Chain A
């Protein structure tokens, strides 16, 4: 077991899902729910003769940051690419549901609660979406998570963290987009159709998935931050993600609603303006859009150290 203080400076990208979960909340405060010792493994994988995991590749639990109860969901990319099946999906759903029920109980019992004392949900994404082995059960799990996000809305803020190797793609890309806030590192990647799938469907001329620089400047944290798809861009450490969550804890639910990228007619209009801009510009590369956002030397942004990037970057306004 790695010590909490040793976890803080560790690369978020390289940390395991469990280490991320433990490190995100206060020292010693994490209690895992439906953890490996409960041995809830996927019945589908066993039937297919595929390897199983005691936690089905998702860590769920509860801890606190300061005075804020934090329900944590953390996906493990090394187990079947972090794919979400029936068990893992049920764990996500239950964690969000517990947070909502806990919120409702608290509010019913105490009428003088600070925002800081109300629960948050934090989801660390590392997944390509549905576990294809589990087909409909996996898809249904996605729908149920979406359902819980809608139930949490306006009550319990849901914060997405994307700084893992696999990123957040496929159905879970939609789920990430439907959260209240997205925090990314520059190594995090967010999208719907993953690079390999785009190349397979549209050809290497359209998108060369082996071109890592292209992949990162199209799906990576810097691009998503400029485009407004990510609210915050942080350093690649467990502590940096934790500090950003900590800074958000205690904000009003209205402030969280304001940070959403989708989910109101005003936000839909902004998204449509971005689509119209893309149609008008026909950008050949992400840096074309960065230039349009007002970055005179867009190419320099690619390799600029993060603090300088954050100090100088101009984000797209539509």
Chain B
């Protein structure tokens, strides 16, 4: 019954956005999540770790994160997420919020 950890290695379709400093947004509330982002030289790629009680949605997580990267062009970053049953829309919103806070 341990927590599910999903590790992804993704890249945006067109890399263009880099964050300058680490950041943290959100609270792991019910149906919500918190996100940390760190700048890291990953040759244009983005490393993602999602820690969540939910299983069976790995493909959906991958699609949402890939959409976020394609929309934003974020590259060379490490993203860490603590999730508590957030819906895909909330996940996308929080990712956009994190980038806006950068």
Contacts and interface: CB of A to CB of B under 8 A. Distances in A.
Contact of B2 (A16, A47, A53, A76): A47
Contact of A50 (B22, B27, B53): B53
Interface string A1-41: 10000000000000011000000000000000001110001
Most buried by B among A51, A52, A79: A51
Interface string A42-60: 0001111111111001000
Interface in B20-79: 22-24, 27-30, 32, 34, 36, 51-53
A19 to B, nearest CB: 11
Most buried by B among A47, A49, A76: A49
A213 B64 CA distance: 43
Given A1-B101, A36-B34, A37-B36, A54 B2 contact: no
A79 B2 CA distance: 19
B51 A49 contact: no
Nearest to B51: A52
B52 A46 contact: no
Contacts of B27: 16-17, 53, 57, 76, 78-79
Nearest to A76: B27
A77 to B, nearest CB: 9
Given A76-B27, A79-B27, A52 B36 contact: no
Contacts of A37: 22, 24, 36
B28 A53 contact: yes
Contacts of B28: 51-53, 79
A52 B32 contact: no
Given A36-B34, A37-B36, A46-B2, A51 B53 contact: yes
Contacts of A1: 23, 101
Most buried by B among A35, A50, A53: A53
Nearest to B1: A49
Interface residues of A, number: 21
A105 B3 CA distance: 43
Contacts of A78: 27, 29-30, 32
B94 to A, nearest CB: 13
A57 B2 CA distance: 20
B34 A48 contact: no
B17 interface: no
A45 to B, nearest CB: 8
B24 A51 contact: no
Contact of B83 (A16, A47, A51): A51
B22 A51 contact: no
A52 B85 CA distance: 12
Given A16-B27, A79-B27, A51 B1 contact: no
Given A16-B27, A78-B29, A53 B34 contact: yes
Interface of B: 1-4, 22-24, 27-30, 32, 34, 36, 51-53, 80, 82-85, 101
Given A47-B2, A53-B27, A79-B29, 4 more contacts: A16-B27, A51-B3, A54-B82, A78-B29
Interface of A: 1, 16-17, 35-37, 41, 45-54, 57, 76, 78-79
18 contacts: A35-B24, A36-B24, A41-B82, A46-B2, A46-B3, A47-B1, A49-B2, A49-B3, A51-B53, A51-B85, A52-B28, A52-B51, A52-B82, A53-B82, A54-B82, A78-B29, A78-B32, A79-B27
Q: Which 10 A-B pairs have the closest CB atoms?
A: A51-B84, A78-B29, A49-B1, A53-B28, A78-B27, A36-B24, A46-B3, A51-B28, A51-B53, A49-B53
